[in-house]
């Protein structure tokens, strides 16, 4: 048996298409163009690629993109002052500070200085609290993308056993809250979980978000389960030639695909949904700021 491959790249393109339609309506009916400001501090090569991609896709769906690239030695005061300026700019509906930040900057302080209504990453403590209490929040992009793919594949998730491997604030914890919101029975597993293979074997849905290459083998997966692989890890690939590398997830795809009912690949699974959901969140933030109906199907 071989699992259905959940094509995140195609799904993300569909979501971006829906965002573009909504943006066109906001412009045509209300004369409003949503604006997204992305702040990058330093020269981390992967972050530079993600920020470039965010800017390009923002423009492609018809929104305004504002990129702020700051040097790696930017002071906390200067960064906070930029965020304050963006908080007060009526043309900016979404603000995102690309992570990770250089070590001398306090990530929590910086994130919590963003206006929660413009926090399109959903990382502000107010949004974390709103999500945790089942209230209307800005929802972190990667877990939102996973939820969209799961809903699309299953319809209702009600009553399913879900295991989230990883307890990060960015993915694991919000993912668990979203699954709980859709009436799953949720377990959050982590490095201290006893008998992790047995815990995973009980799951109808497995979300792997630990950051350890190919940690979850196929024989941990319950036959027919849906596997969402959030990991993006670069490993050596000598089979491709000397010094070559390739991307793998937290799941051992080759063995898991034989057992699972459905699985996301890496690359081309969860990753592309992260940026699509960022654009969706920006439209949502813009609609909320203007007291307009939110885009259907693009929120949790
Ligand atoms: N402020 C934030 N910082 C970071 C976030 C975030 O959501 N908000 N997430 C990650 C990086 N990220 C977006 O910022 C991101 C990561 C991966 C992808 C993606 O499409 N990956 C591709 C593979 C890309 C490659 O070839 O290297 C895939 O999985 O197919 C998009 C966005 C950390 N920082």
Q: What whole-number distance in Å separates Cα of residue 23 and Cα of residue 32?
A: 8
Question: Is residue 271 lining ligand 1, measured as CB closer than 6 Å?
Answer: yes
Question: Is residue 232 lining ligand 1, measured as CB closer than 6 Å?
Answer: yes
| Domain ranges within the chain, ordered by starting residue | 30-115, 141-271
Please compute the mean of the pLDDT values over residues 200-225 and round it to a whole number: 98
**Res 70: pLDDT:** 98
With 90 as the cut, is the pLDDT of residue 60 above it? yes
Please compute the mean of the pLDDT values over residues 162-190 and round it to a whole number: 98
Q: What is the mean pLDDT of the chain?
A: 98
ipTM: 0.97
Strand order in the sheet with 185-189: 4-5, 262-263, 226-229, 205-208, 161-165, 185-189
Percent of the chain residues past pLDDT 70, beyond the cut: 100
Question: Is residue 265 lining ligand 1, measured as CB closer than 6 Å?
Answer: no
0.90 exceeded by pTM: yes
**Res 86: pLDDT:** 99
Is there a binding annotation on residue 16? Answer: no
CA of 142 to the centre of ligand 1 (A): 9
pLDDT in tens, 248-298: 999 999 999 999 999 999 999 999 999 999 999 999 999 999 999 999 999
Active site residue 69: no
Dihedral (CA of 130, 154, 165, 211) sign: negative
pLDDT band at 1 (very low <50, low <70, confident <90, very high): low
Question: Is residue 268 lining ligand 1, measured as CB closer than 6 Å?
Answer: yes
pLDDT in tens, 21-46: 999 999 999 999 999 999 999 999 99
> For residue 225, which of 244, 251, 206 has the smallest C-alpha distance?
206
Q: Which residues contact 108 (CB under 8 A, 6 or more apart)?
A: none
Please compute the mean of the pLDDT values over residues 162-180 and round it to a whole number: 98
Dihedral (CA of 156, 158, 163, 165) sign: positive
Same fold, 30-115 and 141-271: yes
Is there a binding annotation on residue 249? Answer: no
CA of 271 to the centre of ligand 1 (A): 6
Question: Is residue 18 lining ligand 1, measured as CB closer than 6 Å?
Answer: no
Kindly name the residue from 54, 118, 173, 222 that is annotated as catalytic.
Answer: 54
Is there a binding annotation on residue 167? Answer: yes
Q: Is the Cβ–Cβ distance between 64 and 27 less than 8 Å?
A: no
CA of 275 to the centre of ligand 1 (A): 7
CA of 58 to the centre of ligand 1 (A): 15
Active site residue 103: no
- The number of the ligand 1 atom at minimal distance from the alpha carbon of 9 is 30
**Res 92: pLDDT:** 98
CATH says 30-115 is which class?
alpha beta
CATH says 141-271 is which class?
alpha beta
Could you check whether the bond before residue 133 is cis, i.e. omega within 30 degrees of 0? no
The DSSP letter of residue 294 is P
Question: Is residue 51 lining ligand 1, measured as CB closer than 6 Å?
Answer: no
The DSSP letter of residue 119 is B
Q: What whole-number distance in Å separates Cα of residue 17 and Cα of residue 220?
A: 36
CA of 39 to the centre of ligand 1 (A): 15
Q: Which residues contact 40 (CB under 8 A, 6 or more apart)?
A: 47, 48, 51, 67, 68, 69, 70, 98
Percent of the chain residues past pLDDT 90, beyond the cut: 99
Residues 238-267: b if buried by 16+ CB within 10 A, e if exposed = eeeeeeeeebbbbbbbebbbebbbbbbbbe
Kindly name the residue from 18, 118, 119, 121 that is annotated as catalytic.
Answer: 121
């Amino acid at each position: 048996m071989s699992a259905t491959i959940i094509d995140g790249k195609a799904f993300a393109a569909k979501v971006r298409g829906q965002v573009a339609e909504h943006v066109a309506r906001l412009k045509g009916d209300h004369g409003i163009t949503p604006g997204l400001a992305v702040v990058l501090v330093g020269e981390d090569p992967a972050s530079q690629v993600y920020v470039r991609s965010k800017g390009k896709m923002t423009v492609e769906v018809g929104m305004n993109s504002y990129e702020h690239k700051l040097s790696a030695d930017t002071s906390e005061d200067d960064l906070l002052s930029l965020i304050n300026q963006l908080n007060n700019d009526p043309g900016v509906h979404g603000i995102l500070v690309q992570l990770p930040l250089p070590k001398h900057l306090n990530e929590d302080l910086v994130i919590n200085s963003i206006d929660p209504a413009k926090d399109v990453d959903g990382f502000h403590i107010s949004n974390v609290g709103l999500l945790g209490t089942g209230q209307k929040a800005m929802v972190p992009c990667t877990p939102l993308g996973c939820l969209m793919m799961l809903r699309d594949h299953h319809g209702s998730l009600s009553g399913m056993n879900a295991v989230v491997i990883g307890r990060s604030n960015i993915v694991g914890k919000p993912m668990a809250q979203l699954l709980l919101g859709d009436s799953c029975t949720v377990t959050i597993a982590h490095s201290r979980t006893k008998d992790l293979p047995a815990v995973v074997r009980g799951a109808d849905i497995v979300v792997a978000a630990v950051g350890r290459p190919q940690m979850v083998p196929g024989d941990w997966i319950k036959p027919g389960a849906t596997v969402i692989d959030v990991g993006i890890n670069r490993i050596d690939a000598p089979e491709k030639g000397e010094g070559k590398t390739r991307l793998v997830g937290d799941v051992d795809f080759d063995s898991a695909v034989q057992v699972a009912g459905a699985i996301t690949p890496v690359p081309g699974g969860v990753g592309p949904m992260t940026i699509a959901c960022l654009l969706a969140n920006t439209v949502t933030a813009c609609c909320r700021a203007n007291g307009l109906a939110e885009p259907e199907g693009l929120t949790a």
